[in-house]
């Protein structure tokens, strides 16, 4: 029962947090804000990248199954700060969270 509750919380949280995916108007606005906003945005997109990737695969093989278009990487996040933030989020975020969750 505990595992079912944990899984429900993780799925609900992932869906809620993935609302801030790359490609949206808010994301494009933040990416144009300078180095610090780009780094934080890149970090955020790196953290939610596994969830976004699943959504992109669903959109690819079942078009119109999801009501929005997902992007793994922000098109306007072209700076080094965004890239560094993205890779730090991708490399450290999910593994650290899963390691702590299992304890």
Q: Which tens digits make up the pLDDT trace of 7-39? A: 888 777 766 665 567 766 666 666 677 788 888
Question: What integer best gives the mean pLDDT of the chain?
Answer: 76
Cα angle, residue 67 at apex, residues 64 and 69 outer, rounded to 5°: 80
Query: How many helices (H) and strands (E) would you count in the chain?
Result: 5, 0
Q: How many structural domains comprise the chain? A: 1
Task: Give the pLDDT band of residue 97 (cuts 50, 70, 90).
Answer: low
pLDDT tops 60 at residue 91:
yes
Residue 68 has φ and ψ, to the nearest 5°, of -140, 165
Q: What span, in angstroms and rounded, lies between the C-alpha atoms of 89 and 42?
A: 7
Domain around 52: 2-101
């Amino acid at each position: 029962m505990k595992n079912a509750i944990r899984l429900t919380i993780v799925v609900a949280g992932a869906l809620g947090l993935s609302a801030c995916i790359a490609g949206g108007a808010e994301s494009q606005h933040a990416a144009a804000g300078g180095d610090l906003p780009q780094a934080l945005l890149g970090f955020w997109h790196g953290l939610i990248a596994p969830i976004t990737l699943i959504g992109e695969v669903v959109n690819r093989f079942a078009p119109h199954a999801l009501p929005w278009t997902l992007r793994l990487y922000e098109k306007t996040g072209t700076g080094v700060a965004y890239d560094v933030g993205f890779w730090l989020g991708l490399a450290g975020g999910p593994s650290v969270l899963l390691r702590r969750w299992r304890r």
